[in-house]
Amino acid sequence: MTVTSPEFVSALAADAEAAGITGLVAAAVISRDGRVLLVRRNPDDYMGGLWEIPSGTVEAGETILDALHRETAEETGLTIDQVDCYIGHFDYRNSRGGTTRQFNFAVTVEKTEPVVLTEHDAHQWALPSELPEVSDAVRNLIAP
């Protein structure tokens, strides 16, 4: 079963639902020259100032992969060319007090520049060994 098959993606969502997860987020790990694209949350946002990989909520009627493509384009202006692999998930407490599951995918984008931010105040291409302030979950996901 491939990472982009409807069966694989449906199973991810079903597992989260069975675990009582209240929110689903799709996230893109975009690499260039050994560096990973990180975006910084606006200071007045929930977890403001924290660096993260581009990600966003799976909306009603949308698959996890639909959200991955849409959110990557919305947050970075970049277009996903290919979903390379599923690299796992982590759960975290969201701003409403529920639990969100973030599904993380390594992707290839059509072009890595320009990065156009709409929801974040900065971006950087960071070496996995020299990450700025990210959550432990993100560090564990991309650091060696």
> What confidence tens digit (pLDDT) does each residue in 60-70 have?
999 999 999 99
Could you tell me which residues come within 8 angstroms of residue 50 by beta carbon, excluding any fewer than 6 positions away?
Answer: 40, 41, 133, 134, 135
pLDDT of residue 78: 98
pLDDT of residue 37: 98
pTM: 0.95
Q: What is the mean pLDDT of the chain?
A: 95
Q: Which phi and psi (to 5°) does residue 73 adopt?
A: -65, -45
pLDDT of residue 6: 93
